[in-house]
Structure 1
Amino acid sequence: MMETRTDEIADGIFRISVFVPDIAPPAGFTFNQFLILGDDPLLFHTGLRKMFPLYCEAVRRLVPLDRLRWISFGHFEADECGAMNEWLAAAPNAELAHGQTGCLVSVTDMADRPPRILGDGEVVDLGRGKRVRYIDTPHTPHGWDAGLMIEESTGTLLCGDLFTQLGDGPALTDGDIVGPAILAEDIFRYSSLNPDMGLTIRGLAGHAPRTLALMHGPSFSGDGPAALRALADEYDRKAAATVSSRPASMSR
Protein backbone atom coordinates (compact mmCIF):
# COMPACT_ATOMS: atom_id res chain seq x y z
CA MET A 1 0.00 0.00 0.00
CA MET A 2 1.33 3.44 -0.93
CA GLU A 3 1.74 5.97 1.85
CA THR A 4 2.68 9.63 2.04
CA ARG A 5 5.68 11.01 3.88
CA THR A 6 5.73 14.66 4.90
CA ASP A 7 8.90 16.61 5.76
CA GLU A 8 9.67 20.29 6.23
CA ILE A 9 12.59 20.97 3.87
CA ALA A 10 12.81 24.73 4.46
CA ASP A 11 11.02 27.17 6.74
CA GLY A 12 7.31 26.72 6.04
CA ILE A 13 7.88 24.53 2.96
CA PHE A 14 6.77 20.91 3.16
CA ARG A 15 7.65 18.01 0.86
CA ILE A 16 4.83 15.46 0.54
CA SER A 17 6.21 12.30 -1.03
CA VAL A 18 4.89 8.96 -2.29
CA PHE A 19 7.31 6.17 -3.15
CA VAL A 20 6.25 3.74 -5.90
CA PRO A 21 8.50 0.65 -5.93
CA ASP A 22 6.96 -0.74 -9.13
CA ILE A 23 8.37 2.10 -11.28
CA ALA A 24 11.93 1.44 -12.47
CA PRO A 25 12.47 -1.53 -10.12
CA PRO A 26 14.35 -2.42 -8.06
CA ALA A 27 15.18 1.22 -7.27
CA GLY A 28 11.62 2.57 -7.45
CA PHE A 29 10.56 6.17 -7.94
CA THR A 30 9.23 9.04 -5.82
CA PHE A 31 6.52 11.58 -6.63
CA ASN A 32 6.79 14.78 -4.59
CA GLN A 33 4.46 17.71 -4.06
CA PHE A 34 5.42 20.88 -2.17
CA LEU A 35 3.20 22.98 0.08
CA ILE A 36 4.30 26.51 0.94
CA LEU A 37 2.53 27.89 3.97
CA GLY A 38 1.55 31.55 4.31
CA ASP A 39 -1.60 33.59 4.51
CA ASP A 40 -2.32 32.26 1.01
CA PRO A 41 -0.76 28.75 0.86
CA LEU A 42 0.49 27.39 -2.47
CA LEU A 43 0.68 23.78 -3.62
CA PHE A 44 3.27 23.03 -6.31
CA HIS A 45 2.33 19.89 -8.30
CA THR A 46 -1.09 18.30 -7.93
CA GLY A 47 0.09 14.71 -8.25
CA LEU A 48 -1.47 12.00 -10.36
CA ARG A 49 -5.26 11.94 -10.35
CA LYS A 50 -5.34 8.42 -8.92
CA MET A 51 -3.09 9.50 -6.05
CA PHE A 52 -5.29 12.46 -5.10
CA PRO A 53 -6.79 10.90 -1.94
CA LEU A 54 -3.29 10.29 -0.55
CA TYR A 55 -2.04 13.80 -1.20
CA CYS A 56 -5.30 15.42 -0.16
CA GLU A 57 -5.17 13.84 3.29
CA ALA A 58 -1.51 14.83 3.71
CA VAL A 59 -2.20 18.46 2.80
CA ARG A 60 -5.29 18.53 5.02
CA ARG A 61 -3.08 17.66 7.99
CA LEU A 62 -1.05 20.82 7.34
CA VAL A 63 -3.70 23.34 6.30
CA PRO A 64 -7.50 23.37 5.97
CA LEU A 65 -8.36 22.89 2.30
CA ASP A 66 -10.55 25.99 2.22
CA ARG A 67 -7.40 28.01 3.02
CA LEU A 68 -5.44 26.64 0.06
CA ARG A 69 -5.14 29.66 -2.25
CA TRP A 70 -2.81 28.72 -5.13
CA ILE A 71 -2.10 25.59 -7.16
CA SER A 72 0.78 25.54 -9.62
CA PHE A 73 3.08 23.10 -11.43
CA GLY A 74 6.00 22.93 -13.83
CA HIS A 75 4.32 21.84 -17.06
CA PHE A 76 1.23 20.07 -18.34
CA GLU A 77 1.76 16.38 -17.56
CA ALA A 78 -0.21 13.85 -15.52
CA ASP A 79 2.05 13.71 -12.46
CA GLU A 80 2.41 17.50 -12.47
CA CYS A 81 -1.24 18.48 -12.83
CA GLY A 82 -3.34 15.33 -13.29
CA ALA A 83 -5.39 16.01 -10.15
CA MET A 84 -5.86 19.76 -10.70
CA ASN A 85 -9.65 19.52 -11.01
CA GLU A 86 -9.90 17.28 -7.95
CA TRP A 87 -7.98 19.94 -6.02
CA LEU A 88 -10.18 22.72 -7.38
CA ALA A 89 -13.26 20.81 -6.20
CA ALA A 90 -11.80 20.11 -2.75
CA ALA A 91 -10.34 23.59 -2.24
CA PRO A 92 -13.08 26.10 -3.18
CA ASN A 93 -10.86 29.18 -2.77
CA ALA A 94 -7.91 27.83 -4.75
CA GLU A 95 -6.82 29.25 -8.09
CA LEU A 96 -4.51 27.69 -10.65
CA ALA A 97 -1.46 29.77 -11.58
CA HIS A 98 0.83 29.00 -14.51
CA GLY A 99 2.72 30.64 -17.36
CA GLN A 100 1.14 32.11 -20.45
CA THR A 101 1.99 29.26 -22.85
CA GLY A 102 0.69 26.55 -20.55
CA CYS A 103 -2.51 28.44 -19.83
CA LEU A 104 -3.25 29.25 -23.45
CA VAL A 105 -2.33 25.82 -24.85
CA SER A 106 -3.71 23.44 -22.21
CA VAL A 107 -4.73 24.67 -18.77
CA THR A 108 -7.55 27.06 -19.68
CA ASP A 109 -9.32 24.32 -21.64
CA MET A 110 -8.70 21.46 -19.22
CA ALA A 111 -9.25 23.19 -15.87
CA ASP A 112 -12.66 23.54 -14.26
CA ARG A 113 -11.86 27.13 -13.20
CA PRO A 114 -9.95 29.75 -15.19
CA PRO A 115 -6.26 30.00 -14.27
CA ARG A 116 -4.25 33.08 -13.42
CA ILE A 117 -1.68 33.66 -16.15
CA LEU A 118 1.76 34.47 -14.76
CA GLY A 119 4.32 36.47 -16.67
CA ASP A 120 8.00 35.53 -16.68
CA GLY A 121 9.46 36.95 -13.46
CA GLU A 122 6.07 37.75 -11.91
CA VAL A 123 5.92 37.51 -8.11
CA VAL A 124 2.97 36.21 -6.09
CA ASP A 125 2.95 37.31 -2.42
CA LEU A 126 1.73 34.46 -0.21
CA GLY A 127 1.89 36.48 3.00
CA ARG A 128 3.90 35.84 6.20
CA GLY A 129 7.05 36.75 4.30
CA LYS A 130 6.61 34.08 1.63
CA ARG A 131 6.67 35.08 -2.03
CA VAL A 132 7.13 33.00 -5.16
CA ARG A 133 8.57 34.14 -8.47
CA TYR A 134 7.54 32.41 -11.70
CA ILE A 135 10.34 31.66 -14.20
CA ASP A 136 9.70 30.56 -17.80
CA THR A 137 11.93 27.61 -18.81
CA PRO A 138 10.57 26.54 -22.24
CA HIS A 139 11.61 23.01 -23.27
CA THR A 140 13.64 22.63 -20.05
CA PRO A 141 13.67 19.89 -19.08
CA HIS A 142 10.76 19.26 -21.45
CA GLY A 143 7.56 20.87 -22.58
CA TRP A 144 7.01 24.08 -24.51
CA ASP A 145 5.01 25.33 -21.52
CA ALA A 146 7.65 24.57 -18.88
CA GLY A 147 8.22 26.97 -16.02
CA LEU A 148 9.39 26.85 -12.39
CA MET A 149 9.00 28.83 -9.20
CA ILE A 150 11.40 30.00 -6.52
CA GLU A 151 10.28 30.93 -3.01
CA GLU A 152 12.51 33.91 -2.41
CA SER A 153 12.60 34.22 1.39
CA THR A 154 14.04 30.70 1.78
CA GLY A 155 15.76 30.49 -1.61
CA THR A 156 13.84 27.29 -2.42
CA LEU A 157 13.72 26.48 -6.14
CA LEU A 158 10.79 24.24 -7.04
CA CYS A 159 12.64 22.25 -9.69
CA GLY A 160 9.91 20.18 -11.29
CA ASP A 161 11.57 17.40 -13.31
CA LEU A 162 15.07 18.88 -13.19
CA PHE A 163 17.49 16.55 -11.33
CA THR A 164 15.04 13.61 -11.60
CA GLN A 165 16.52 10.48 -10.04
CA LEU A 166 15.54 6.97 -9.03
CA GLY A 167 15.15 5.50 -5.56
CA ASP A 168 13.66 6.33 -2.18
CA GLY A 169 16.29 8.54 -0.61
CA PRO A 170 16.05 10.96 2.32
CA ALA A 171 13.75 13.94 2.21
CA LEU A 172 16.74 16.29 2.23
CA THR A 173 20.35 15.70 1.24
CA ASP A 174 23.58 17.65 0.86
CA GLY A 175 25.11 14.95 -1.35
CA ASP A 176 25.50 14.66 -5.11
CA ILE A 177 22.27 15.11 -7.07
CA VAL A 178 23.85 15.68 -10.49
CA GLY A 179 25.29 12.20 -11.02
CA PRO A 180 22.01 10.43 -10.15
CA ALA A 181 20.12 12.88 -12.39
CA ILE A 182 22.30 12.08 -15.40
CA LEU A 183 21.89 8.36 -14.70
CA ALA A 184 18.11 8.82 -14.78
CA GLU A 185 18.43 10.85 -17.98
CA ASP A 186 20.37 8.03 -19.61
CA ILE A 187 17.62 5.58 -18.60
CA PHE A 188 14.48 7.61 -19.34
CA ARG A 189 15.76 10.15 -21.92
CA TYR A 190 13.10 12.50 -20.57
CA SER A 191 14.72 15.83 -21.44
CA SER A 192 14.18 17.86 -24.62
CA LEU A 193 17.83 18.38 -25.50
CA ASN A 194 18.22 21.76 -27.16
CA PRO A 195 20.98 24.34 -27.63
CA ASP A 196 19.47 26.71 -25.04
CA MET A 197 19.01 24.15 -22.28
CA GLY A 198 22.31 24.83 -20.52
CA LEU A 199 21.73 28.57 -20.75
CA THR A 200 18.26 28.22 -19.25
CA ILE A 201 19.54 26.15 -16.32
CA ARG A 202 22.38 28.60 -15.66
CA GLY A 203 19.74 31.33 -15.57
CA LEU A 204 18.13 29.48 -12.67
CA ALA A 205 21.50 29.45 -10.89
CA GLY A 206 21.40 33.25 -11.07
CA HIS A 207 18.53 33.21 -8.54
CA ALA A 208 20.99 31.78 -5.95
CA PRO A 209 18.79 28.98 -4.59
CA ARG A 210 19.81 27.42 -1.27
CA THR A 211 17.35 24.52 -1.47
CA LEU A 212 16.44 22.55 -4.59
CA ALA A 213 13.02 20.91 -4.28
CA LEU A 214 13.00 17.94 -6.69
CA MET A 215 9.78 16.39 -7.92
CA HIS A 216 11.46 12.99 -8.21
CA GLY A 217 14.18 12.43 -5.63
CA PRO A 218 15.42 14.03 -2.42
CA SER A 219 15.48 17.77 -1.99
CA PHE A 220 18.96 19.30 -1.87
CA SER A 221 20.34 21.75 0.67
CA GLY A 222 23.61 23.48 -0.14
CA ASP A 223 25.22 25.27 -3.06
CA GLY A 224 22.26 25.26 -5.44
CA PRO A 225 23.93 27.43 -8.10
CA ALA A 226 26.91 25.04 -8.31
CA ALA A 227 24.59 22.04 -8.73
CA LEU A 228 22.62 23.83 -11.45
CA ARG A 229 25.75 24.89 -13.31
CA ALA A 230 27.08 21.31 -13.16
CA LEU A 231 23.78 20.01 -14.52
CA ALA A 232 23.89 22.63 -17.28
CA ASP A 233 27.40 21.48 -18.25
CA GLU A 234 26.20 17.88 -18.49
CA TYR A 235 23.29 18.83 -20.73
CA ASP A 236 25.54 20.98 -22.92
CA ARG A 237 27.74 17.93 -23.46
CA LYS A 238 24.74 15.74 -24.25
CA ALA A 239 23.29 18.27 -26.70
CA ALA A 240 26.65 18.66 -28.46
CA ALA A 241 27.11 14.89 -28.67
CA THR A 242 23.63 14.49 -30.15
CA VAL A 243 24.35 17.03 -32.88
CA SER A 244 27.78 15.59 -33.70
CA SER A 245 26.35 12.07 -34.02
CA ARG A 246 23.83 13.05 -36.70
CA PRO A 247 24.53 12.15 -40.33
CA ALA A 248 25.88 15.10 -42.29
CA SER A 249 22.67 15.27 -44.35
CA MET A 250 20.64 15.93 -41.18
CA SER A 251 22.92 18.74 -39.99
CA ARG A 252 22.43 20.94 -43.06
Structure 2
Amino acid sequence: METQISEVADGIYRLSTYVLDIAPPAGFTFNEFLVIGDEPLMFHAGLRKMFPINCEALSRIIPPARLRWIAFGHFEADECGAMNEWLAVAPEATPAHGRTGCMVSLNDFADRAPRVLSDGEVIDLGGGKRVRFIDTPHTPHGWDAGVLYEESTQTLLCGDLFSQLGNDRALTDRDVVGPAIAAEDMFRYSSLNPHMGATIRSLSAFAPRTLALMHGPTFTGDGAAALNALADDYDRRVLKDADALRTL
Protein backbone atom coordinates (compact mmCIF):
# COMPACT_ATOMS: atom_id res chain seq x y z
CA MET A 1 0.00 0.00 0.00
CA GLU A 2 1.00 3.59 -0.57
CA THR A 3 -0.65 6.93 0.09
CA GLN A 4 -1.23 9.23 -2.88
CA ILE A 5 -1.43 13.02 -2.50
CA SER A 6 -3.66 15.33 -4.54
CA GLU A 7 -4.66 18.96 -4.03
CA VAL A 8 -8.44 18.80 -4.47
CA ALA A 9 -9.22 22.46 -3.63
CA ASP A 10 -7.08 25.49 -2.90
CA GLY A 11 -5.01 24.50 0.12
CA ILE A 12 -6.89 21.24 0.73
CA TYR A 13 -4.97 18.01 0.13
CA ARG A 14 -6.34 14.50 -0.19
CA LEU A 15 -4.16 11.71 1.20
CA SER A 16 -5.58 8.53 -0.30
CA THR A 17 -4.72 4.90 0.41
CA TYR A 18 -6.20 2.27 -1.89
CA VAL A 19 -6.87 -1.23 -0.51
CA LEU A 20 -7.60 -3.82 -3.19
CA ASP A 21 -8.47 -6.54 -0.67
CA ILE A 22 -11.60 -4.70 0.48
CA ALA A 23 -14.52 -5.47 -1.85
CA PRO A 24 -12.39 -6.89 -4.68
CA PRO A 25 -12.01 -6.53 -7.59
CA ALA A 26 -12.95 -2.84 -7.27
CA GLY A 27 -11.22 -2.22 -3.94
CA PHE A 28 -11.77 0.67 -1.55
CA THR A 29 -10.07 3.99 -0.75
CA PHE A 30 -9.39 5.52 2.65
CA ASN A 31 -8.94 9.28 2.42
CA GLU A 32 -7.67 11.89 4.86
CA PHE A 33 -7.82 15.62 4.13
CA LEU A 34 -5.30 18.26 5.17
CA VAL A 35 -6.56 21.86 5.26
CA ILE A 36 -3.63 24.26 5.13
CA GLY A 37 -3.83 27.39 7.25
CA ASP A 38 -1.86 29.06 9.97
CA GLU A 39 -3.23 26.25 12.14
CA PRO A 40 -3.41 23.22 9.79
CA LEU A 41 -6.30 20.81 10.30
CA MET A 42 -6.51 17.15 9.34
CA PHE A 43 -9.95 15.63 8.78
CA HIS A 44 -9.74 11.89 9.52
CA ALA A 45 -6.83 10.40 11.42
CA GLY A 46 -7.03 7.11 9.54
CA LEU A 47 -6.50 3.54 10.63
CA ARG A 48 -3.80 2.98 13.23
CA LYS A 49 -2.04 0.41 11.03
CA MET A 50 -1.89 2.93 8.17
CA PHE A 51 -0.31 5.64 10.32
CA PRO A 52 3.30 5.12 9.12
CA ILE A 53 2.48 5.56 5.42
CA ASN A 54 0.01 8.37 6.06
CA CYS A 55 2.46 10.23 8.25
CA GLU A 56 5.17 9.90 5.61
CA ALA A 57 2.76 11.25 2.98
CA LEU A 58 1.74 14.22 5.12
CA SER A 59 5.39 15.03 5.77
CA ARG A 60 5.75 15.67 2.04
CA ILE A 61 3.32 18.59 2.46
CA ILE A 62 4.07 19.96 5.94
CA PRO A 63 6.05 18.76 8.95
CA PRO A 64 3.59 16.65 11.02
CA ALA A 65 4.49 18.71 14.09
CA ARG A 66 2.73 21.70 12.45
CA LEU A 67 -0.71 20.09 12.80
CA ARG A 68 -2.96 22.03 15.17
CA TRP A 69 -6.34 20.32 14.73
CA ILE A 70 -7.46 16.72 14.19
CA ALA A 71 -11.13 16.18 13.37
CA PHE A 72 -13.24 13.42 11.84
CA GLY A 73 -16.77 12.39 10.91
CA HIS A 74 -17.50 10.01 13.78
CA PHE A 75 -15.76 7.67 16.19
CA GLU A 76 -14.66 4.64 14.15
CA ALA A 77 -11.30 2.98 13.51
CA ASP A 78 -10.81 4.28 9.97
CA GLU A 79 -11.82 7.79 11.07
CA CYS A 80 -9.76 8.15 14.22
CA GLY A 81 -7.85 4.92 14.92
CA ALA A 82 -4.49 6.70 14.62
CA MET A 83 -5.55 9.87 16.44
CA ASN A 84 -3.23 9.33 19.39
CA GLU A 85 -0.32 8.52 17.07
CA TRP A 86 -0.88 11.89 15.38
CA LEU A 87 -1.11 13.64 18.74
CA ALA A 88 2.25 12.11 19.65
CA VAL A 89 4.01 13.58 16.59
CA ALA A 90 2.07 16.88 16.71
CA PRO A 91 2.47 18.09 20.29
CA GLU A 92 0.43 21.28 19.71
CA ALA A 93 -2.50 19.52 18.02
CA THR A 94 -5.96 19.28 19.58
CA PRO A 95 -8.65 16.74 18.65
CA ALA A 96 -11.98 18.41 17.87
CA HIS A 97 -15.42 16.89 17.55
CA GLY A 98 -19.06 17.39 18.46
CA ARG A 99 -20.49 17.28 21.95
CA THR A 100 -21.79 13.71 21.70
CA GLY A 101 -18.54 12.28 20.32
CA CYS A 102 -16.48 13.96 23.02
CA MET A 103 -18.82 12.84 25.79
CA VAL A 104 -19.10 9.18 24.82
CA SER A 105 -15.66 8.52 23.29
CA LEU A 106 -12.99 11.20 23.03
CA ASN A 107 -12.89 12.28 26.65
CA ASP A 108 -11.65 8.77 27.42
CA PHE A 109 -9.89 7.72 24.20
CA ALA A 110 -7.89 10.83 23.34
CA ASP A 111 -4.47 11.30 24.92
CA ARG A 112 -5.14 15.05 24.89
CA ALA A 113 -8.35 16.78 25.95
CA PRO A 114 -10.59 17.46 22.93
CA ARG A 115 -12.24 20.70 21.93
CA VAL A 116 -16.00 20.28 22.07
CA LEU A 117 -17.65 21.75 18.96
CA SER A 118 -21.23 22.98 18.97
CA ASP A 119 -23.38 22.58 15.88
CA GLY A 120 -22.45 25.38 13.49
CA GLU A 121 -19.30 26.38 15.39
CA VAL A 122 -16.41 27.69 13.27
CA ILE A 123 -12.70 27.14 13.76
CA ASP A 124 -10.67 29.91 12.14
CA LEU A 125 -7.50 28.21 10.89
CA GLY A 126 -5.96 31.48 9.70
CA GLY A 127 -4.66 32.08 6.20
CA GLY A 128 -8.22 32.54 4.98
CA LYS A 129 -9.39 29.04 5.96
CA ARG A 130 -12.45 28.59 8.19
CA VAL A 131 -14.10 25.24 8.92
CA ARG A 132 -17.64 24.93 10.25
CA PHE A 133 -18.76 21.83 12.19
CA ILE A 134 -22.23 20.53 11.33
CA ASP A 135 -23.95 17.88 13.44
CA THR A 136 -25.47 15.05 11.37
CA PRO A 137 -26.50 12.50 14.04
CA HIS A 138 -26.99 8.95 12.74
CA THR A 139 -26.20 10.17 9.20
CA PRO A 140 -24.90 8.13 7.60
CA HIS A 141 -24.19 6.28 10.87
CA GLY A 142 -23.06 6.96 14.42
CA TRP A 143 -25.01 9.19 16.80
CA ASP A 144 -21.91 11.39 17.04
CA ALA A 145 -21.70 11.91 13.25
CA GLY A 146 -20.81 15.30 11.80
CA VAL A 147 -19.17 16.93 8.79
CA LEU A 148 -16.96 19.98 8.21
CA TYR A 149 -17.50 22.76 5.69
CA GLU A 150 -14.52 24.87 4.60
CA GLU A 151 -15.99 28.24 3.75
CA SER A 152 -13.37 29.84 1.48
CA THR A 153 -13.29 26.94 -0.99
CA GLN A 154 -16.92 25.86 -0.44
CA THR A 155 -15.67 22.34 0.30
CA LEU A 156 -17.81 19.89 2.26
CA LEU A 157 -15.69 17.28 4.03
CA CYS A 158 -18.30 14.56 3.78
CA GLY A 159 -17.09 11.77 6.04
CA ASP A 160 -18.82 8.56 4.97
CA LEU A 161 -21.51 10.25 2.86
CA PHE A 162 -21.31 9.16 -0.80
CA SER A 163 -19.02 6.20 0.04
CA GLN A 164 -18.25 4.11 -3.02
CA LEU A 165 -15.99 1.41 -4.37
CA GLY A 166 -12.98 1.70 -6.63
CA ASN A 167 -10.01 4.00 -7.16
CA ASP A 168 -10.81 5.76 -10.42
CA ARG A 169 -9.29 9.22 -9.89
CA ALA A 170 -8.65 11.84 -7.21
CA LEU A 171 -11.01 14.44 -8.74
CA THR A 172 -14.15 13.86 -10.74
CA ASP A 173 -17.05 15.83 -12.16
CA ARG A 174 -18.92 12.62 -12.94
CA ASP A 175 -21.90 11.20 -11.07
CA VAL A 176 -21.09 10.30 -7.45
CA VAL A 177 -24.66 9.52 -6.43
CA GLY A 178 -25.13 6.35 -8.50
CA PRO A 179 -21.91 4.74 -7.19
CA ALA A 180 -22.89 5.71 -3.63
CA ILE A 181 -26.29 4.06 -4.06
CA ALA A 182 -24.56 0.91 -5.35
CA ALA A 183 -22.22 0.86 -2.33
CA GLU A 184 -25.18 1.27 0.03
CA ASP A 185 -26.89 -1.65 -1.68
CA MET A 186 -23.77 -3.76 -1.09
CA PHE A 187 -22.66 -2.74 2.41
CA ARG A 188 -25.90 -1.49 4.04
CA TYR A 189 -23.66 0.77 6.08
CA SER A 190 -26.11 3.56 6.85
CA SER A 191 -28.34 3.86 9.92
CA LEU A 192 -31.63 4.46 8.13
CA ASN A 193 -33.82 6.86 10.09
CA PRO A 194 -36.77 9.16 9.32
CA HIS A 195 -34.62 12.31 9.56
CA MET A 196 -31.81 11.09 7.30
CA GLY A 197 -33.01 12.63 4.04
CA ALA A 198 -33.74 15.97 5.71
CA THR A 199 -30.31 15.98 7.39
CA ILE A 200 -28.50 15.42 4.09
CA ARG A 201 -30.75 17.87 2.26
CA SER A 202 -29.96 20.59 4.81
CA LEU A 203 -26.29 20.39 3.78
CA SER A 204 -27.25 21.47 0.27
CA ALA A 205 -27.97 24.95 1.66
CA PHE A 206 -24.19 25.50 1.78
CA ALA A 207 -24.08 25.00 -2.03
CA PRO A 208 -20.70 23.23 -1.90
CA ARG A 209 -18.57 23.32 -5.03
CA THR A 210 -16.46 20.42 -3.80
CA LEU A 211 -17.50 17.22 -2.02
CA ALA A 212 -14.50 15.57 -0.34
CA LEU A 213 -15.39 11.90 0.09
CA MET A 214 -13.65 9.72 2.64
CA HIS A 215 -14.23 6.65 0.47
CA GLY A 216 -14.16 7.66 -3.17
CA PRO A 217 -13.05 10.52 -5.42
CA THR A 218 -13.48 14.20 -4.63
CA PHE A 219 -16.38 15.63 -6.61
CA THR A 220 -16.31 19.07 -8.18
CA GLY A 221 -19.51 20.60 -9.49
CA ASP A 222 -23.06 21.10 -8.22
CA GLY A 223 -22.72 19.69 -4.72
CA ALA A 224 -26.20 20.79 -3.72
CA ALA A 225 -27.78 18.74 -6.51
CA ALA A 226 -25.74 15.68 -5.54
CA LEU A 227 -26.74 16.01 -1.88
CA ASN A 228 -30.41 16.40 -2.77
CA ALA A 229 -30.28 13.33 -5.02
CA LEU A 230 -28.61 11.28 -2.28
CA ALA A 231 -31.24 12.50 0.21
CA ASP A 232 -34.00 11.42 -2.18
CA ASP A 233 -32.56 7.91 -2.32
CA TYR A 234 -32.41 7.61 1.46
CA ASP A 235 -35.99 8.88 1.73
CA ARG A 236 -36.97 6.14 -0.70
CA ARG A 237 -35.18 3.51 1.41
CA VAL A 238 -36.81 4.67 4.64
CA LEU A 239 -40.28 4.67 3.07
CA LYS A 240 -39.70 1.22 1.58
CA ASP A 241 -38.72 -0.18 4.98
CA ALA A 242 -41.69 1.51 6.64
CA ASP A 243 -44.05 0.00 4.05
CA ALA A 244 -42.50 -3.43 4.64
CA LEU A 245 -43.08 -3.10 8.40
CA ARG A 246 -46.74 -2.18 7.87
CA THR A 247 -47.30 -5.43 5.99
CA LEU A 248 -46.00 -7.63 8.83
Residue equivalent to 2:112 = 113
Q: 1:57 is matched with which residue?
A: 56
The AA in structure 2 aligned to 1:69 is R
Aligned match of 1:179: 178
Which residue pairs with 1:217 in the alignment? Answer: 216
Deviation at 1:169, TM superposition (A): 1.3
Residue 138 of structure 2 aligns with which residue?
139
Runs of 4+ in 1 over 4 A off after TM superposition: none
Paired residues in the alignment total 248
Distance in 1 (CA, whole Å) between partners of 2:168 and 2:79 is: 20
Aligned to 2:235: 236
Deviation at 1:157, TM superposition (A): 0.2
Please give the per-residue CA displacement for 1:37-83, whole angstroms capped at 9, x wherever unaligned: 01000000000000000110111111112211000000000000000
Task: For residues 179-214 of structure 1, give each alpha carbon's deviation from its aligned partner in whole angstroms, at most 9, with x where no partner exists.
Answer: 000000000000000110000001110111100000
Instruction: Provide the alpha-carbon RMSD of the alignment.
Output: 0.7
Shift of 1:247: 4.9
Measure the CA separation in 2 of the matches of 1:246 and 1:230: 25
Give the letter aligned to residue 128 of structure 1.
G
State the partner residue of 1:43: 42
Secondary structure of residue in 1 paired with 2:236: helix
Superposition map of 1:1-252 within 5 A = 2-248=1-247
TM-score by length of 1: 0.97
| SS in structure 1 of the partner of residue 200 of structure 2 | helix
Q: Deviations over 1:112-153 (max 9, x none)?
A: 111000000000000110000000000000000000000000
CA distance in 1, matches of 2:168, 2:13: 16
* Stretches of structure 2 lacking an aligned partner (at least 5 in a row): none
- Structure 2 letter corresponding to 1:70: W
Q: CA deviation at 1:216?
A: 0.2
SS for the counterpart of 1:164 is coil
For 2:72 and 2:163, the matched residues in 1 are separated by 15
Kindly state the Cα deviation for residue 248 of structure 1 after the two structures are TM-superposed. Answer: 4.6
Q: What SS does the aligned partner of 1:160 have?
A: coil
**For the residues of structure 2 that align with 1:104 and 1:151, how far apart are their CA atoms?**
25
What is the Cα deviation at residue 106 of structure 1? 0.5
Does the residue aligned with 1:206 lie in a helix, a strand or coil?
helix
**Partner amino acid, structure 1, of 2:205:** G
TM-score, scaled relative to structure 2: 0.99
Give the gaps of 5 or more residues in structure 1. Answer: none
Give the secondary-structure state (helix, strand or coil) at the position aligned to 1:150. Answer: strand
Task: For 1:241 and 1:65, locate their aligned partners in 2 and report how far apart those are by CA, in whole Å.
Answer: 47
SS in 2 for 1:245: helix
Distance 2:177 2:142 in 1: 21
Partner SS for 2:25? coil
